[in-house]
Structure 1
Amino acid sequence: MSINDNILIKIRDMKDSLTPVEKLVAEYILDNVDEIPHLSIKSLAQSTKTSDASVLRFCKTMGYKGYRNFIVSISASLGSMDEEQKDQYTDIQPGDDLSTIISNISHNNSKSIEDTLSVIDRNEIARAVKVLVACNRIVFFGIGASGLVGMDAEQKFSRINKMCHTYTDGHSQLTAATLLGKGDVAIFISNSGSTIEILDTLEIAKKNGATIIAITKYNKSSLADNANIVLSISTPEITIRSGAMGSRIAMLTVIDILFAGVASSEYKHVKKYLAKTHDIIASSKHRK
């Protein structure tokens, strides 16, 4: 169950990984959101030039048992939106003045976090925290900007004395995955879920018995399909670097949630480590 369920965001993020027929249904819904609650399954099938069975399959792909449940969720999502929210993201434009850039980037990052709460599953977060509390060690895998998210995670979990490390290039990732085993957790960070180096490493980690956690876009992907636990993020459909910024912010937020969840559940045990690391950093600053 999502934290702030919004089926329209889920459809937007899932659209490009659907079958061609399901994509027809998704695109029609997104283009005609206001009329959807008033359509029967037959009317929607006719409007999308598909069939009743195709619309029902689409509903099930989106996580609903039937069409009625789906329509109720659409109505609820529309009720939580207003006209100003329908175009939520703004891409970088040539010649934007600094005040516009500040406003747009801040807005995009905020919306990435907000929309991620509509697709990430609370139960999956709970499962992830549980295995992280019990595991022998944590290994983070990410390429490029996703690798930077892994480095941030390593810094956080190290503060509570968790054995962890981040690997950000293909060769070191393969080597690290080869040494994983049962009781270890491998966290794969990839917006697309289709990065070749990540998938090659995942195959080895899974074969060796590590628990696989994926932090990836809400989408059908090889990474999501092969993970034990999937923590979905929502990212904007924009073309320039502001899209990558939004995904990074969403991923960092998921890492913060996991860290806080583990630290809270083990607080009596880890508070001494938090205090020690805080004190040593504070004393280092004072010496300067």
Structure 2
Amino acid sequence: MAETNLLISIRSCYDQLTRLEKKVADYVLQHPQEVVKMTINELSNSCGVGDTTVFRFCRSMNVGGYQDFKLALALSSNVNDMLDSKGEFNLAQSQDLHELAQQVSGVFTDAVNETLSSLDYDAISRTVEAILNARSVHLFGFGNSGVSALMMQNRMMRILPNIFYTSDVHMQLTSAATMQADSVAIIFCNSGITKDSIRIAQMTHEAGAFTVFITKFMQTPAAPYADVLLCSGATEGPIQGGSISGVASQMYIVMLLYSELFRRMETRAQENKIKAAHAIAERKL
């Protein structure tokens, strides 16, 4: 399929599709750029069919699954059109370093502004309250979302002694499986459809832990397991996975949580930060 234009394949196979599959095909042919950034639930709702129909349609197109379908769709179209207006492909086409610097700055600014515009202040407040009352706080994430989780640990441990993160996937799954009810789980997953992230959310929810899921796609399959969904605000296509805009939006959420925690902890946060600063200062010349 990677060597075949998917849009052409859809048209050539159209008459062999079922009535419901044709509804999916019609929508994909009319809105290829939008479909590339949709979850399977969003596409099925837009077509007026069930998720299973979309899966059957993907099999009819000889692709391994929905994510493979979206990648094939992106590769079958103009790649630049599949990306945000300031995606990495567009940055690579900058005329000079000064123009590139302005565009990179715009990527970060747009990501933060998009996150701010969709911010749920009550969800932020509930998350902070849960962290303050938790026995332990466990962070989860893979790929660039794992980088955000690590950055959150590095920031938060200056004022909190009970925040934990490990990059190893087996250790993350083990941590989720042994979670306690008086703990908080914070899961970074920009796409909202990473299997391990969804499984972790399910396990921490079943353990009774307060579960926070940070994602762009609020219709993520992890939603039923989350006490709080935080919208990170950065849309990515299948070719854009791990984009700087996704990290920027997640780090904005991290800094907002940190700042609100610091404000509520008052002198205790200040005292802990001073202790951490002294410990680090002893390592410097």
Using the size of structure 2 for normalisation, the TM-score is 0.67
- Aligned in 2, Cα 1:239/1:178: closer, same or farther, shift over 3 Å? closer
Residue deviations 1:134-187, cap 9 Å, x none? 111100000011111111111122111331111333211111112211110000
Q: Please say if 1:193 is aligned against 2:189.
A: no
Q: Residues 59-78 of structure 1: CA distance to partner in whole angstroms, max 9, x if unpaired?
A: xxxxxxxxxxxxxxxxxxxx
Query: 1:39-54 to 2 correspondence within 5 Å?
Result: none
Cα separation, 1, equivalents of 2:264 and 2:45: 45
Aligned counterpart, 2:24: none
Match of 1:36 in 2: none
Look up the SS of the partner of 2:222 in the other structure. Answer: helix
- C-alpha displacement of 1:269: 1.9
For 2:129, the aligned partner's letter is: K
The structure-2 alpha-carbon separation of the partners of 1:23 and 1:153, relative to structure 1 and needing over 3 Å to count, comes to farther
Distance 1:193 1:121, change over 3 A: same
CA contact (8 A) 1:88 1:111 kept: no
Instruction: Report the Cα offset of residue 101 of structure 1.
Output: 1.9
Which SS does the other structure have where 1:18 is aligned? helix
Distance in structure 1 (CA, Å) of the matches to 2:119 and 2:270: 28
> Partner residue of 2:86?
90
Cα–Cα, structure 1 residues 242 and 210, in superposed 2: closer, same or farther, change >3 Å?
A: closer
Counterpart of 2:137? Answer: 138
SS of structure 1 residue aligned to 2:185: strand
Matches for 1:263-278 after TM superposition, within 5 Å: 263-278=262-277
Q: 1:218 to 1:203 in 2, by over 3 A?
A: closer
- 1:205-216 equivalence runs, <5 A: 205-216=204-215
The answer to whether the 8 Å contact 1:90/1:238 transfers is: no
Matched, 1:252 2:251: yes
2:257 aligns to what SS in structure 1? helix
Deviation of 1:214 after TM superposition, in Å, equals 0.7
Listed as ranges, the matches of 1:142-157 within 5 Å are 142-157=141-156
Distance 2:236 2:156 in 1: 32
Structure 2 residue runs of 5 or longer lacking an equivalent are 1-33, 49-82
3-state SS, counterpart of residue 165 of structure 2: strand
User: What is residue 224 of structure 1 aligned with on the other side?
Assistant: 223
Match of 1:174 in 2: 173
Between 231-240 and 214-223, report the one with greater CA deviation: 231-240
1:111 is aligned to 110
Structure-2 change in CA distance of 1:178 and 1:219 (3 Å): closer
Distance 1:231 1:131, change over 3 A: same
Report the counterpart of residue 281 of structure 1 in structure 2.
280
Q: Number of residue pairs matched?
A: 214
Distance 1:95 1:119, change over 3 A: closer
Separation of aligned partners in 1, 2:225 and 2:208? 13
CA distance in 2, matches of 1:231, 1:195: 16
Deviation at 1:200, TM superposition (A): 1.8
Deviations 1:181-237 (A, max 9, x none): 111000000001111111222222111111100111143111233210111111145
Among 18, 26, 32, the alignment partner of 2:42 is 18
Q: What's the CA shift string for 1:35-93, capped at 9, x where partnerless?
A: xxxxxxxxxxxxxxxxxxxxxxxxxxxxxxxxxxxxxxxxxxxxxxxxxxxx9842233
CA contact (8 A) 2:236 2:246 kept: no
Q: Match of 2:29?
A: none
What CA distance in whole angstroms lies between the structure 2 residues aligned with 1:23 and 1:98?
A: 44
**Cα distance between partner residues in 2 of 1:22 and 1:247:** 25
| Distance in 2 separating the partners of 1:249 and 1:140 | 18
Q: 1:23 to 1:129 in 2, by over 3 A?
A: farther
Aligned-residue sequence identity (percent) comes to 22
Shift, 1:15, TM fit: 6.0
User: Normalising by structure 1, what TM-score?
Assistant: 0.67
**Are the structure 2 counterparts of residues 195 and 102 from structure 1 closer, same or farther at C-alpha, using a change threshold of 3 Å?**
same
Q: 1:180 to 1:236 in 2, by over 3 A?
A: closer
Distance 1:264 1:151 in 2: 22
Structure 1's 151 and 123: CA in aligned 2 closer, same or farther, altered over 3 A?
same
Conserved 8 A contact 1:141-1:187: yes
Aligned pair in 2 of structure 1 residues 225, 109: CA closer, same or farther (>3 Å)? farther
Task: Quote the Cα distance in structure 2 between the aligned partners of 1:222 and 1:174.
Answer: 18
